[in-house]
Amino acid sequence: MDYVFAPPIAPSLPIAGSSARFPLRRVFCIGRNYAEHAREMGAEVANRAAPVFFCKPADGVVGDGADVPYPSATADLHHEVEMVVALAAGGRDVPAGRALDLVFGYGVGLDLTRRDLQAVAKARSLPWDVAKAFDHSAPVSPLRRATEIGHPARARLTLEVNGSVRQDADIADMVFAVPEIVAELSKLFELKAGDLIFTGTPAGVAALARGDRFRAELAGVAVLEGRIV
Ligand code: MN
């Protein structure tokens, strides 16, 4: 292929217990997927008719142990700890009953958010891109294969910042469970291998500052550590 400049290297994530990497295609996110978090944001909880979706760029994903630069244009960077689902296959209009067949594995990530810019976007009915889709906005752990750990429907999801617990919940409390998220997304987008899905955050979101060290864990699945610089 004759490109006018070298194409960027495809972003990817490591796989636990393997030297192979998981190549990334798209990053989808669902919002308001835990009732307590929707309440703390003063938002309505997601309902069956109206899941809230947005996207992040795949090159915004950063790996475990990375230094995450504090982003420009915000004075209120927030953490949102979330289970992350990685797809090894795709499709359109996938029934919830077959959705888990698409799943390669699971990890834990942070949906980093410029909360001040999101508040402006919400107030003015503007898109969320500048609040959600910035560079380095998606730290993600190494992935664990579903063939190794199965498909967790309940597991403790925690975030510590500088050793203090900020978020502590169970993924069983999600409004839309993973099969339903995949089914709903596939009505809107053709899903493909390499897609990641951030599954929403529980209550306890708060600000991060330069120098903060974070440790996210989805019990029995994955750990993500890093530092805001
Ligand atoms: Mn989120």
C-alpha of residue 198 to centroid of ligand 1, in Å: 7
Mean pLDDT of 47-52: 82
- 201-to-4, 10, 22, 169 alpha-carbon distances in Å: 41, 27, 23, 9
| Domain housing 74 | 12-228
How many domains, the chain?
Answer: 1
Q: Is position 95 within any domain? A: yes
Q: Is position 1 within any domain? A: no
pLDDT band at 6 (very low <50, low <70, confident <90, very high): very high
C-alpha of residue 53 to centroid of ligand 1, in Å: 10
pLDDT band at 45 (very low <50, low <70, confident <90, very high): confident
C-alpha of residue 32 to centroid of ligand 1, in Å: 8
Closest CA to 198 of 23, 31, 21: 31
Q: Is position 2 within any domain? A: no
CB 221 within 8 A of CB 143: no
pLDDT band at 1 (very low <50, low <70, confident <90, very high): confident
Q: Is position 7 within any domain? A: no
Q: What is the pLDDT of residue 53?
A: 97
pLDDT band at 196 (very low <50, low <70, confident <90, very high): very high
Nearest-angstrom CA–CA distance, 119 and 131: 9
C-alpha of residue 1 to centroid of ligand 1, in Å: 38
Q: Is position 159 within any domain? A: yes
Is 224 a residue whose pLDDT tops 90?
A: yes
pLDDT band at 85 (very low <50, low <70, confident <90, very high): very high
C-alpha of residue 3 to centroid of ligand 1, in Å: 36
Is 33 a residue whose pLDDT tops 80?
A: yes
* CATH number of the domain residue 78 falls in: 3.90.850.10
C-alpha of residue 177 to centroid of ligand 1, in Å: 15
Q: Is position 192 within any domain? A: yes
Q: Is position 5 within any domain? A: no
Q: Is position 6 within any domain? A: no
C-alpha of residue 46 to centroid of ligand 1, in Å: 13
C-alpha of residue 182 to centroid of ligand 1, in Å: 16
Which residue spans within the chain are E strands per DSSP?
A: 12-14, 21-23, 27-31, 52-56, 61-62, 67-68, 77-79, 81-87, 103-110, 113-114, 138-139, 144-145, 156-161, 164-170, 196-198, 206-207, 213-218, 222-228
Q: What is the pLDDT of residue 206?
A: 98
Q: What is the pLDDT of residue 43?
A: 84
Closest CA to 32 of 21, 40, 20: 40
Virtual torsion, Cα 58, 63, 66, 68, nearest 10 deg: 30
Dihedral over Cα of 185, 190, 136, 212: its sign: positive
C-alpha of residue 34 to centroid of ligand 1, in Å: 10
pLDDT band at 69 (very low <50, low <70, confident <90, very high): very high
Encode pLDDT of 160-189 as tens digits. Answer: 999 999 999 999 999 999 999 999 999 999
Average pLDDT, the chain: 96
Mean pLDDT of 29-33: 96
